[in-house]
Amino acid sequence: MSDLQAPRNELRIAMVGAGTMAGAHSLALRNLRHLYPGLALHPRLVAVADINRTLAGGLAERFGYERVVTDAQAVIEADDVDLVVACLPPALNRDVVLAAAAAGKHVVSEKPLGVSAEDAVAMLRACRAAGVFHGLAAGYRWSPAVRAMAGIIQDGELGAIRSMRASFMLDYAADPDVPLLWRFRKSMAGGGIAIDTGYHLVDLARYLVGEIAHVQALSATFIAERALPSADAVGNRGGVSAAPAARQTGPVDVEDAAAALLGFSGGAYGVLETSRIAIGKRLSLQIEVYGDRGSADWDLERPDEFRVCLPGDPSTFGFRRVLVNPAHPGAAELLIGGTDGTSIGWLGQECAMWAEFLGAIAEGRPGTADFTDGVRDSAVIDALYASAATGTRTRVTLPADLG
């Protein structure tokens, strides 16, 4: 065995990007060995690549990456890397994924998968042709509470699903001093808040209720001009540098808020809303699902519980709060000592996602969310933008070879 071959139980990872989500993934990956000692593959953090060497160096120091580079291609092609994580602004993730697939590397991409369904299809096809694992980091699918809700829906406990409502509301963009980050530029983000947090809503709607056939949407921009950011601005408020943003400004060419009506292929309808100018909503994600027998809902501000309303005694009829417990899929490993009430939260769902991806790679099977989901999610977002632009109901169109 050469030096460049990993021990059989190790998966050597290169992180491309060193911003907010690269930190979240690294934190989860660092915890996996302790939370899931039985995993067939354990992650080894080999390299981090970012144009900002200081940021990449900081990530390496915090999480123990073995080397830091500014040229992503150098780590994508390196013999000691098995899996590449694409964690850059959306427009840049496509090239990372295509290069990784060409080099025969497994890949996990942040959402959105590229900036359009066309991008997403190219990424899916490249991974299929190379025969590599492709995971979509649609993290909320791994919340044990959301998984439990999905199980209840699949088991038919709510009956036939008639409707769903979901919202993802934030407020960082209500501050006019937040600079013109990549998130406010179509060329880098592919769109505004719809392709960003709206993507999660679409993915969860598909996960919980089913495929989406058509969309009727509208979008709005409230702050049309922002100061140019400093070179090292990251996150959604432009943190890192203490240097003031340049006085020079540039146009915001994407939406701050969007709302959509969905028609599901199965006959249900959905109502989605997402905004980054909803003052007081720091990171508020809520989902409600209504069937002909019962209902269920989840609120990210209370991530370890969900509510159900099922038929029962009229004197006690109503919503019942269910705390995530070890009987729920994916929960036991994340509850301290397997004890209900010890909290799982956002980091827990991230750990569960990575544990499942590593298990899937070891077993040669797809993960719970892959690039096929990315193509489907992106196609809905494309339809949402087309509908918002034309004011008409728009069908979701998919490439023929998706199945």
- Choosing from 196, 255, 297, 370, the residue that interacts with ligand NAD (CB under 6 A) is 196
Q: Is residue 182 within the footprint of ligand NAD (CB under 6 A)? A: yes
Peptide linkage before 112 cis (omega within 30 of 0): yes
Count how many residues are written for the chain. Answer: 403
CA 151 – CA 153 distance, rounded (Å) = 5
The answer to whether 59 and 65 are in contact (CB under 8 A) is: yes
Q: In angstroms, what is the minimal distance from the CB of 93 to ligand NAD?
A: 6
Q: Is residue 303 within the footprint of ligand NAD (CB under 6 A)? A: no
> Scanning residues 314 to 343, which ones bind ligand NAD (CB under 6 A)?
none
Comparing CB distances to ligand NAD, the nearer of 20 and 339 is 20
Comparing CB distances to ligand NAD, the nearer of 28 and 137 is 137
Q: In angstroms, what is the minimal distance from the CB of 22 to ligand NAD?
A: 6
State the alpha helices, DSSP H only, in 131-226. 144-154, 186-189, 193-208
For the CA atoms of 215, 202, 210, 346, the dihedral, rounded to the nearest 10 degrees, stands at -160
Comparing CB distances to ligand NAD, the nearer of 87 and 126 is 87
- Choosing from 18, 41, 152, 308, the residue that interacts with ligand NAD (CB under 6 A) is 18
The answer to whether 269 and 263 are in contact (CB under 8 A) is: yes
Comparing CB distances to ligand NAD, the nearer of 52 and 295 is 52
Tokens of 24: 């979240």
> Scanning residues 158 to 177, which ones bind ligand NAD (CB under 6 A)?
none
Among the listed ranges 31-39, 90-98, 250-258, 279-287, the one in contact with ligand NAD (CB under 6 A) is 90-98
Q: Is residue 95 within the footprint of ligand NAD (CB under 6 A)? A: no
Q: In angstroms, what is the minimal distance from the CB of 361 to ligand NAD?
A: 19
Q: In angstroms, what is the minimal distance from the CB of 360 to ligand NAD?
A: 18
Comparing CB distances to ligand NAD, the nearer of 93 and 295 is 93
Checking DSSP bridges between strand 269-275 and strand 257-264, what pairing results, if any? antiparallel
Interface mask toward ligand NAD for 21-40; x: CB under 6 A: xx------------------
CA 21 – CA 259 distance, rounded (Å) = 25
Q: Name the packing angle between helices 117-130 and 371-390 (round to 10°).
A: 170
Q: Is residue 88 within the footprint of ligand NAD (CB under 6 A)? A: yes
Among the listed ranges 81-89, 156-164, 254-262, 278-286, the one in contact with ligand NAD (CB under 6 A) is 81-89
> Scanning residues 198 to 257, which ones bind ligand NAD (CB under 6 A)?
234-235
What is the spatial order of strands in the sheet that 42-49 belongs to? 67-69, 42-49, 10-16, 83-86, 106-110, 134-137
What is the b/e burial string over 60-96, where b = at least 16 CB atoms within 10 angstroms of the residue's CB?
Answer: beebebebbbeebeebbbbebbbbbbbbbbbbbbbbb
Q: Name the packing angle between helices 193-208 and 371-390 (round to 10°).
A: 120
Comparing CB distances to ligand NAD, the nearer of 152 and 166 is 166
Q: Where are the beta strands (DSSP E) in 91-160?
A: 106-110, 134-137
- Which spans of this chain sit near ligand NAD (rule: CB under 6 A)? 17-22, 50-52, 55, 87-90, 92-93, 110-111, 137, 139, 182, 196, 234-235
